[in-house]
Structure 1
Amino acid sequence: MNRFTWLAVALFACSMLAQAFTREFPPESKRGVMTPGVYPEIVLNGKVRLLAVNIQIRNADNLLETFNTLLPGSYYVNYLENEAGEIQRIWILTKDEVGHTTHTGPNPGP
């Protein structure tokens, strides 16, 4: 085989591994439904909440995403709060993760 075939096989194998990746969430994370608002506000479980200045948002592919790139709409999320009650970390969940119930927070569920 030539090197391009090996490259294609390697990329395919990497993509299969990425699809099998299971994210681990901190045990203290909570679950909610988030709707982006006007920065630094979001609506989380029907209440307006503030984002921390060092907010970290991970999309369903586990990639970092900035607040201004979120599309309008509602997202099922896991999140962490800081000591001031601001939202510090958000993980946008996949459909499979929404059905998974190993978190400690309330599950608004689909």
Structure 2
Amino acid sequence: MIRCALALAATVLASPLLAQTHRHFPADALRGEIKFLQPPAVQLNGKPQTLSPGSRLQGENGMGVLSGELIGRAHSVHYTLNTDGQLRDVWILNATERQNRVWPKSREEANRWTFDPSTQTWSKP
């Protein structure tokens, strides 16, 4: 019983710290600004876009969120697209992740830049 209480207390105390750490993003993730509309519709960088069936959305703390909870909100995100060009994965960036301003916003930029997955940083040529 005491061990369970200690484990719970450690989890609760650590959760704000976890929200401010860098998550690992895939090399094909792009950065953008998203506004959530009536699901599955969103605006990505000011243009209409659609969430794919089975898309995964993660909040700033890394926990899954439902698109319906985000209607009307705008966020800085990293995202990936499926083969049909729909949004597959969306990560709402936390304050620490937003500080890393060098991140490609288009496939063309990503093709020209170099990604270091261990440091989660991009280098421009």
TM-score, normalised by the number of residues in structure 2 = 0.69
Task: Identify if the C-alpha distance between structure 1 residues 95 and 14 changes in structure 2 by more than 3 Å, giving closer, same or farther.
Answer: closer
Task: Identify if the C-alpha distance between structure 1 residues 86 and 4 changes in structure 2 by more than 3 Å, giving closer, same or farther.
Answer: closer
The aligned amino acid for 1:100 is N
Q: Extract unaligned runs of 5+ from structure 1.
A: none
Q: Secondary structure in 2 aligned to 1:65?
A: coil
Q: Secondary structure in 2 aligned to 1:68?
A: helix
CA RMSD, 1 decimal = 2.6
The aligned amino acid for 2:65 is E
Q: Secondary structure in 1 aligned to 2:18?
A: helix
Look up the match of 2:25.
Answer: 25
Look up the match of 1:98.
Answer: 98
TM-score, normalised by the number of residues in structure 1 = 0.78
Shift of 1:39: 1.3
CA distance in 1, matches of 2:46, 2:16: 37
Q: Extract unaligned runs of 5+ from structure 2.
A: 107-125
**Contact 1:25–1:103, Cα closer than 8 Å, also in 2:** no
CA distance in 1, matches of 2:105, 2:11: 37
